[in-house]
């Protein structure tokens, strides 16, 4: 889809207004995409992701933040991860990644620390 727009007749004020509308639209599209990615995950889902060192981290989803998912790993580490970097993981895949499903921490009875 290729639309050309002749900008030569626009004033500076009109161009600034157009720029604001474009930025607003891009932000809206990004938010929609982020919400769609976030909706793939539920609290308690078992997920995995790869860190910069190449290590695969497996854990449970414990919180959905505005732009990230908080995961607690099998070793007890808390990670805030972009949903685009997460993959759903089954119990069999966990063992294949070298992590034992028995090391995951249950969070029953945890209370939110919101003030």
- Reported as a single tens digit per residue, the pLDDT across 26-69 is 999 988 888 888 888 999 999 999 988 989 999 999 998 888 89
Indicate the pTM of the whole model: 0.59
Task: Give every CB contact of residue 100 below 8 A, 6+ residues apart in sequence.
Answer: 74, 94
Of all residues in the chain, what percent carry a pLDDT higher than 70?
77
Cα dihedral 29, 59, 101, 106 sign: negative
What pLDDT is stored for residue 5 in this prediction? Answer: 84
Cα gap 1→40, rounded to integer Å? 29
């Amino acid at each position: 889809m290729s639309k050309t727009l002749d900008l030569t007749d626009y004033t500076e004020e009109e161009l600034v207004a157009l720029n604001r509308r474009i930025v607003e639209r891009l932000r809206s599209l990004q938010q929609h995409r982020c919400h769609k990615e976030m909706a793939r995950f539920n609290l308690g889902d078992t997920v995995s992701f790869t860190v910069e060192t190449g290590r695969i981290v497996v854990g449970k989803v414990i919180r959905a933040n505005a732009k990230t998912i908080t995961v607690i790993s099998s070793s007890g580490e808390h990670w805030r991860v972009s949903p685009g970097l997460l993959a759903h993981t089954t119990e069999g895949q966990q063992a294949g990644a070298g992590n034992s499903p028995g090391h995951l921490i249950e969070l029953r009875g945890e209370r939110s620390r919101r003030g």
